[in-house]
A = this chain, B = another copy of it.
Amino acid sequence: MILFEDIQRYIDKLNYLSKVEDEDVLKPMEEFAQKVGFPIVGRSVGRFLYIITKLKNPKLIVEVGSGYGYSAYWFAKAIGNGKVVLTDYNQDNLDKARNFLSKAGLIEKVEIRLGNGVEIAKDYKNIDILFFDHEKAKYLDSILMLKDNLNSGGIVIADNTLWHGKVLEEAPDRQTKKIKEFNEYMFSSPEFFTTLIPLRDGLIVAIKF
């Protein structure tokens, strides 16, 4: 448990007071997540990604782990003259992403690539925002492999860093241990200035110096 449920509900209610242009795309994406239990970041985190993107004004965003494009929607909606790279192992997810992002008129803002997101990310040398939402046990290795591909002043955003509160357990499982190591690395590394935002399942937001 992270946030008291009633607080989350209050924030969610506020989120839906805000008119967004693409409710006819977002609602089906959210309903599909609910129906099949797909772990999307949800409206609160999505809106936060939008704000971070507007502030950063990035040329290049790379997502490691895009699912069917829910986070990519918010990045692409906010990006000006730039590109969002989506990656996923699953062709069906990516087909859905292409479909949703087309409907939202955002397909020209994105590049959709099948395969290992970390390997794909290595192809890009000047990343402004790097988004992690892949296998949690791989976050630490992934940032070590990719940090030199981030521009100075670039942003790392990593989802699920509170891992349903499991980071508090006295005898955490291997995956949880690896997430804790990732968090500790991000906060103690002199290469990053890091915060952990308790939105939904916990979001690391860090700036590379």
| A7 close to B2 (CB less than 8 A) | yes
Cα separation A52 to B52 with both chains bound (whole Å): 8
Q: Are B168 and A10 in contact (CB under 8 A)?
A: yes
Known: A10-B167, A18-B193, A55-B207. 18 other contacts (CB 8 A): A1-B7, A2-B7, A3-B4, A10-B162, A10-B168, A11-B198, A14-B184, A14-B194, A18-B187, A19-B188, A44-B196, A47-B194, A51-B193, A51-B195, A51-B207, A54-B153, A55-B55, A198-B199
Most buried by B among A51, A153, A188: A51
Chain B residues closer than 8 Å to A28, beta-carbon distance: none
Known: A184-B14, A188-B17, A198-B199. A193 touches B56 (CB 8 A): no
Q: Are B11 and A190 in contact (CB under 8 A)?
A: no
Q: Which of A1-54 contact B (CB under 8 A)?
A: 1-4, 6-7, 10-11, 14-15, 17-19, 44, 47-48, 50-52, 54
Q: Does A197 contact B (CB under 8 A)?
A: yes
Which chain B residues border A165 with CB–CB below 8 Å? Answer: 4, 6-7
Q: Name the interface size band of chain A.
A: 35 or more
